[in-house]
Every structure is written in structure tokens, then in C-alpha cells.
Amino acid sequence: MLTQAPKGTKDVIPSEVYKWHFVEGIIREICAFNGYREIRTPSFEHTELFERGVGETTDVVQKEMYTFNDKAGRSITLKPEGTATAVRAFIENGIFNDAQPTKMFYFTPCFRYEQPQSGRLREHHQFGIEAFGSSDPSIDAEVINIAMTLYKRLGISNIELRINSIGCPSCRKEYNAKLKEYLKPKLTSLCETCKGRYEKNPLRIIDCKEEKCKAQITDVPFMIDNLCKECSDHFFDFKRALDTLELEYKIDPRIVRGLDYYTKTAFEIVTDTIGAQGTVCGGGRYDGLVADCGGPSTPGVGFGLGLERLLLVAESNNVQLPKPAYMDIYIANMGAAAGEVALKLVNALRGQGIKADKDYMGRSLKAQMKYANKISARFVVVLGDEEISTGSIKVKNMSDGSEASISIDELAGFIKSK
RNA sequence: GUGGGUAUAGCUCAGUUGGUUAGAGCGCCAGAUUGUGGCUCUGGAGGCCGUCGGUUCGACCCCGAUUAUCCACCCCA
């Protein structure tokens, strides 16, 4: 136990972290180009936020949250998703008073007490986007375009964008009545969970994976065919905006999303290459959420994108994530006097913006060379009694083996010029 | 919460129809004559064969339990 990470958690070790740095770098760049700025928020919130925001009937809230009382007896929950927290911060900091829209992104850990499997952890990390203040369908498309641009930039191709509209409170209410009427005679043949869903959230029955439920609802009416004028206009313009951005999509009337806050646009980006958990990005519009959480009525749209899954898809696509050479120069040193000079030299080089390292293991020269090679140092300088007394050194270029003789004072300039 | 697979070196995995000293490849460390890496060769370190219990003269191997892990269901990123 002592030396084992808790179930469903993973270390990113130094030799692997470059992958994360690379994708995070691309994400920051894309966000900057699209006008999204980073927001950093706590890893835990008051439990009520998620109960209210995510929805009390959802699986996430009912059985997956890490909830505990702190020492003062407050009920605290480790965030299971990012949107509720972003909404809370938007309200609490009065960001709605600024010029709208508010476009922000974040990286956040998310915690859900689930059975781990491929592409699913108890702690995973999401890149999220939230755009508040605009109900313009083009911003729905923009948000999706950010995710699609990311996949494209990474060279991920075997993914599919699926969209749907799940209406607004007014047309959903009418639709729910219609749906319940349709389901009523079939109720006894549905699975137990769907019987429960019938009253609380009948929309979810459409998404049930049980064969017996699927068989019952082959001709079920879909939300998308029962939208009110406003919602269907929004969906129409949303599709046009996707076309304008040249994003391919498939309309999937069964997308309902497992979080209660969605209205109008709902979408998923899926792949079939990383196992059963193929949803690689999910999101949509949530026009009622800010008001539900106690803020001024404000529309919003966003998504969550799992970084662990992103790396899995990248791997399944054989995407080569560039591994940077992490050391500019290695100082091979021999003898006590050289050790001291090397320490000083390395420190001076670092101060001038050069990644420099030296021997700490008392290794032979040959072993130091091997080590320099292993850490893919670009240059090596051998420092011994002779170099110290003359002040003249040879800089070896490790990629072609060539050596240049320079004075020790010229070293920093030499490295920088290469 | 439910079901199935797996558990042997840092990693990926062999293996013993139950018999005394547990193996490989990679990785790590060292060496192959003077102060120079990548290739090659040689050597070395490193395993109470997940844990507990049972069967047996004897268990890493068979049985049970337990824990962990992987995959899948539900749901989600």
C-alpha cells in the first residue's frame, strides 16, 4: 500500500512528461488564437455546487463523487467535472459585469469513484472550454472547432463529431410529455434503471444500452424532431456554422449527455480506437446553468476533453510526439579540481540561459560520455587539469562527433550560436 | 456495484506434467591497456515467483480466500 498509488490514479514520470507538455503547449496556442484565456480554480468545491449544477439525478452525483466532511463539518466534493466550477467562478468574481462574451479555458483534475478501465481513471485530467454570455450558434461551432483543431494539429484523424439538439426547458417539457406517453405502455418491459428514469429524466431512456430497452423504443420520437422554433432555428444556424468552418459532423439523435445542465446543442467527439470508452470530448450548451447556480441569466457553451484519452488516441494513431533534447551541454569532469570548476561553469552557463549539467556520480570519463549520450546532450566539454591550466577547451558536438577548440570564456557564446 | 482475465527481476514476458541452484530480452552498473558517446563483446547487481491459508514427504506450479491490476457492463472525458 505504502508504495502503491491509489486505485485509478496514474503517475506521469519524468521520461513521459514531454507528451503532456507538448499537447498542453498546442492547446494553449489554439486557445490564444481563439481568444480564450486560462482560468485556474480549486480542485474541490462545496458539494451543493455539483448537486445543483450537474444535477441530482445524474450518475455522477448519485454514485461517483468523492465527498467528505472537512474538519469544520462542511460537505466538500473533489470536482467530478469542470463546468460547474467555472460557472461558480464566473458568478463569484462578477465576470458577467465585463464585456461579453467571456471565453476561458482550463486544465483541471477530475475525480470520479468508478471502476477503472481502459481510458477511465478515478482521477483524470481535462482540458475544458467555456464561453459565457452569447447564445449565437456560431460560438457553439467555434468551441467545437477548438477541439477539432487540436485533433488536427496532433495528426489524429479517426474521430467523428456527433451532434444533436436536446431543446430548451419549454420544448423539452412538451417533448417529455410526448415521450412518456409513448413509453407508458412499454414501461413494464423496460430495465429497472429506465423505470426509475421514466419520472425523473425520461430523455435518458433513449440512450439506454440495455437490449430489451433498445428493442422497445425502435420508433421512439426524438427530441430533435420536436424542437420549438427558437431551438430548431438555433440548431439550423449551428449546422451552417459548422459547414462554414468545414467541420464534418453526423447528427445523432440519441446523444443526451449524462449531465443535466445541457440545453440545445449537445455533442460528442468519438473514436473506436481506444477501447470501449470512445468519447474523447463531450460538451454542449447550458443556457440555464448560470441562473440555476444563482447568477444572472447568462447563456453558455463548452466542452470537456480528457487528456489521458487524448494521449491514447494519439498513440492509436501512431502520432509521434516530439521528445525535446533536454540538455544543451554536459561537462565531463575528471579530478577534484575539475569538479569544482565544473560546478562553477555549469552554474554560470545556466545563468545565461543554457541547459547545462555535469557529473555527480564520480564516473569514469567513458561512462560520463555514455551518460551524456543517454541524456541526449547536444555538446560535451571534457574538463581536466590541462584545460583548467590553459583555459582552452574542446567542445564536442555529439550529433556529428566534431570538436571545436575555444577558450573557456567563449563557451556560452559558442553554445548559443549553435 | 456486477462479470471475466492476469499476478515470476526496474520493464516486457518465458518456465517447472509438483522435486532441491528461477530464466531471457530490454534497462541499470562495470570492463574490453594511456582522457571521449552511439555499434559490438564480456561480466555484475537485482526476484521470500502479490499476500494469507489449505492439500502434499515436498508448492513458484494444485485448491481456497484476499488484495492489486487489466478488460468489460452502467456511466463518462
What's the confidence (pLDDT) of residue A350? 97
* Per-residue model confidence (pLDDT) at position A1: 64
pLDDT per position as a tens digit, A65-113: 999 999 999 999 999 999 999 999 999 999 999 999 999 999 999 999 9
Nearest nucleotide by C1' from A5 CA? B68
Verdict on whether the full-model pTM lies above 0.90: yes
Average pLDDT over residues A286-312: 96
3-state secondary structure of A5: coil
* Placement of cell 482540458 in the chain: A127
Lowest mean pLDDT among A204-208, A240-244, A400-404: A204-208
pLDDT above 80 (res A119): yes
Nucleotide nearest to A401 (CA to C1'): B37
C-alpha distances (whole Å) from A394 to each of A270, A402, A413, A414 are 55, 10, 14, 11
> A307-316 and A137-154 are packed helices; what angle lies between their axes, rounded to 10 degrees?
50
- Asked if pLDDT for residue A285 goes beyond 90, the answer is yes
**A129 band by pLDDT with thresholds 50, 70 and 90:** very high
- Candidates A87, A107, A120, A152; CA nearest to A319 is A152
Question: Does the pLDDT of residue A359 top 70, yes or no?
Answer: yes
Angle subtended at Cα A109 by Cα A106 and Cα A113, rounded to the nearest 5 degrees: 140
Q: Which three cell numbers stand for residue A303?
A: 466542452
A23: pLDDT confidence band, cut at 50, 70 and 90?
A: very high
Name the residue with the least CA to C1' distance from nucleotide B51: A1
pLDDT at A210 over 80: no
Average pLDDT over residues A259-282: 93
CA of A121 to C1' of B70 (A): 13
Residue % of chain A over a pLDDT of 70: 100
For the CA of A289 and the C1' of B50, the distance in angstroms is: 48
A416 CA, B34 C1': Å apart = 34
Q: Which of A268, A246, A249 is closest to A257 using CA atoms?
A: A268
d(CA A193, CA A65): 19
CA angle A278, A280, A282 (to 5 degrees): 110
Q: Using the CA of A211, which nucleotide's C1' is the nearest one?
A: B73
pLDDT-derived band at A284 (thresholds 50, 70, 90) equals very high
Average pLDDT over residues A173-185: 90
Cβ atoms A76, A68 nearer than 8 A: yes
Specify the nucleotide whose C1' lies closest to residue A115 (CA): B1
The nucleotide whose C1' lies nearest the CA of A303 is B77
Q: Which residue is nearest to nucleotide B70 (CA to C1')?
A: A117
- Nucleotides, chain B, CB distance < 7 Å: 1-3, 28-32, 35-38, 68-77
For residue A196, name the pLDDT band (cuts at 50, 70, 90). confident
pLDDT score at A392: 94
* Rounded average pLDDT over A45-64: 91
pLDDT, tens only, A333-353: 998 889 999 999 999 999 999
**Mean pLDDT of the residues in chain A:** 93
User: Which nucleotide is at minimal CA–C1' distance from A82?
Assistant: B77
Distance A111 CA to B73 C1' (A): 21
Q: Model confidence at A64, in pLDDT bands (50, 70, 90)?
A: very high
The domains located in chain A, with CATH, are 17-168+228-316 (3.30.930.10), 327-417 (3.40.50.800)
What is the CA A16 to C1' B26 distance in angstroms?
18
Query: Would you state the pLDDT for residue A346?
Result: 96
**So what's the ipTM on this one?**
0.88
